[in-house]
Amino acid sequence: MADYDVIVIGAGLGGLSAGALLSAQGRKVLILEQSARIGGCCSSFERDGFRFDVGASIVEIIKPIEDVFKKLGTTLQAEIDLISCDPVMSVLRKDGSNLTIPFSLEKTGALIRSIAPEDGKRWDDFVDFCAEMADVSLETFFGMPADSMLDMLKMVNHQPRLVKYLPVFLSSYQQILERFFKDERVLQCMGYQSLYFGLPPALVPGPYAMIPYTEQMGIYYPRGGMIQIPAALLRVGEKFGLQIKYNSPVSRVIIRDHRAVGVQLEDGSEISASVIVSDINAKTLYLKLIGDEYLSRLSRKGIQSYAYSKAVPMLYVGVDFEPPLESHHNLIAATPEDINQYWWNHVETGQLDYETVGLVCWPTRSDASLAPQGCHVLNIIPEGFYHLADKNWDAIKDTFIEKEIDYYSKFAVPGLKEHVRFAECSTPLDFERQLRLPQGAIYALQQDIAAQAIFRPAARSKNIRGLYLVGASTHPGGGVPSTIASGLIASNLIQTFEN
């Protein structure tokens, strides 16, 4: 008799979502988390009276999250006070002529028409194109397994209109956008978002070009910080008996006869379970916690071939003034081509650029309780990467913080430098050490076309029976809604195959 029905490795969003859903199925579930905190990349911490988000700083596309809470017998709205961010975002231009995108398809169309009438006409076509694509993909791609060709056929059978969008997968994000828009200022509002998938517009698969449309379905921030999302999953799961152990790093998955039967912790203790669910990077899981001797030759080559996704540094800044921004979410203006150039010239060469594209999140615009009276919180993501050509992140961290605050003070947040009360940074190396994200990879594995759906590590392991994957490493990939959706996909598979 095993100690538990299910052990989940990691209390990230995928692990908590799976853990809660499996507990609701009546299973005895234990989550083992190596750190002292839930949420992994989607969490929050406090310093000097400010509450900062560790990584994820906004939520878009909430339908998959609503589906999970519904399956848990409650609603997302009952569990989390989601604040709708209006306007959707501002695009910060170096000459100060910023553009603020309203939370309204019509008003956004009018804004685009006022900048470039021809592009304004095509906005309506873009909206029609994306609305149907979002409709067919949200209930299939984000909610169903994609482990095999049969799974893909089941998706098409469930939603035949998907076929119409298959050719879009063969186009890039940039090609889809440029099919509709030509004006540089309009494209400057849509280039950066490709990095939400961890790659430049030339390499992100076409369907994700619907982001400037899906942003209009809502951008949300949970009152109390991003940690409210994992906290709600844990709270609801605990009502069904879900258990969690902190400071419990798993060092090995125990395999017998090609079946996962338990885990070994770093302190040497062992816990047995009938099913193991992994929410950690799939390369770490298969190559370190399991060992490639358990993999078929093809799987070994496959898992080794995945590239880690992009890494970013994150600045946590507490200020004692109201930042002169208009939106919760602010992007430095960049056309798709600007982002490509940044990628080829910096990410690919390891040459850090202190004055490049990036994002400023202003959570206290939505929730004042995150900072002391009269103060504000800013989360700044200046683009960056793990491998520096001739430096080490630890050695440059202080200079990096200083230079980025200088740069963002110049035009993005004028006055910032004079009002800093607290400034810290998680570099890609810090993320690797604290969250065990190999190479600081924020979406686990790269998300190009060769690592999507059936090409991503399977939710139900093909090599080890009783082993399931959730989180950014598996379909539908990285991001808050996708990783929560992966928990639903895995729990449904476990219900089918593990009774």
Choices 40-48, 211-219, 342-350, 399-407; region in contact with ligand FAD by CB under 6 A: 40-48
**Closest C-alpha among 262, 341, 285, 344 to residue 463:** 285
Among 472, 485, 489, 490, binds ligand FAD (CB under 6 A): 472
- Is residue 222 close enough to count as binding ligand FAD by CB under 6 A? no
The residues near 372 (Cβ < 8 Å, ≥ 6 apart) are 49, 50
Q: CA torsion angle for 488, 493, 498, 499 (degrees, to 10)?
A: 80
Closest to ligand FAD by CB, 162 or 199: 199
User: At 9, which helix (H) or strand (E)?
Assistant: strand 4-9
Give the shortest CB-358-to-ligand FAD separation in angstroms. Answer: 12
Q: Measured from the CB atom, is 205 or 363 closer to ligand FAD?
A: 363
Contact 337, 34 (CB under 8 A): no
Would you count residue 262 as binding ligand FAD (CB under 6 A)? no
Q: Which is nearer to ligand FAD, 17 or 159 (CB)?
A: 17
- Interface pattern 298-337 for ligand FAD (x via CB under 6 A): --------------x-x-----------------------
Alpha-carbon dihedral 455, 459, 464, 467, rounded to 10 degrees: 160
Per rule CB under 6 A, is residue 436 in the interface with ligand FAD?
Answer: yes
Handedness of CA 228, 230, 233, 237 (dihedral sign): negative
Complex with ligand FAD: residue 45 or 321, whichever CB lies closer: 45
Yes or no: say if 245 and 24 are a contact pair by the CB < 8 Å rule.
no
Q: Is 279 in the site for ligand FAD (CB under 6 A)?
A: yes
When asked if residue 11 is in the footprint of ligand FAD (CB under 6 A), the reply is: yes
Q: Residue 229 Cβ, how far from ligand FAD at the closest point, in Å?
A: 9
Does 10 bind ligand FAD (CB under 6 A)? Our answer is yes
Q: How far is the CB of 437 from ligand FAD (least distance, A)?
A: 6
Nearest to 186 by CA among 117, 130, 134: 117
| CA distance linking residue 455 with residue 166, whole number of Å | 15
User: How is residue 372 written in tokens?
Assistant: 């002391």
- State yes or no: residue 205 binds ligand FAD (CB under 6 A): no
Nearer Cβ to ligand FAD (203/425): 425
Two structure tokens written together for 317: 């800044």
Options 31-39, 107-115, 148-156, 382-390: segment touching ligand FAD (CB under 6 A): 31-39
Residue 34 interacting with ligand FAD (CB under 6 A): yes
| Peptide bond preceding 476 in cis form (omega within 30 of 0) | yes
Under 8 Å between Cβ of 473 and 445: yes
Look up tokens 């809470």; give the residue: 69
CB of residue 323 to ligand FAD, shortest distance in Å: 18
Q: Residue from 282, 339, 435, 494 that binds ligand FAD (CB under 6 A)?
A: 435
For ligand FAD, the closer of residues 159 and 248 by Cβ is 248
Question: Would you count residue 233 as binding ligand FAD (CB under 6 A)?
Answer: no
Alpha carbon of 96 to those of 100, 383, 412, 414: distances in Å?
12, 21, 8, 10
HSE (CB half, 13 Å, CA atoms) of 49?
12
* Shortest Cβ 150–ligand FAD spacing (Å): 25
| 249 belongs to the binding site for ligand FAD (CB under 6 A) | yes
What are the beta bridge partners of residue 60?
Answer: 219
Cα–Cα distance between 36 and 244 in angstroms, integer?
Answer: 11
20 touching ligand FAD, by CB under 6 A:
no
9 binds ligand FAD (CB under 6 A): yes
Residue 421 in contact with ligand FAD, rule: CB under 6 A: no
> What values do phi and psi take at 147, rounded to 5?
-80, -20
**Owner of token pair 């605050």:** 405
The CA R_g of the chain, rounded to the nearest whole Å, is 22
Give the shortest CB-438-to-ligand FAD separation in angstroms.
Answer: 10
d(CA 272, CA 256): 11
Applying CB under 6 A, among 21, 41, 144, 244 the residue interacting with ligand FAD is 41
Our CB check for ligand FAD shows the closer of 109 and 384 to be 384
Residues that bind ligand FAD (CB under 6 A): 9-15, 32-35, 40-42, 55-59, 249-250, 279-280, 312, 314, 431, 435-437, 442-443, 471-472, 478-480, 483
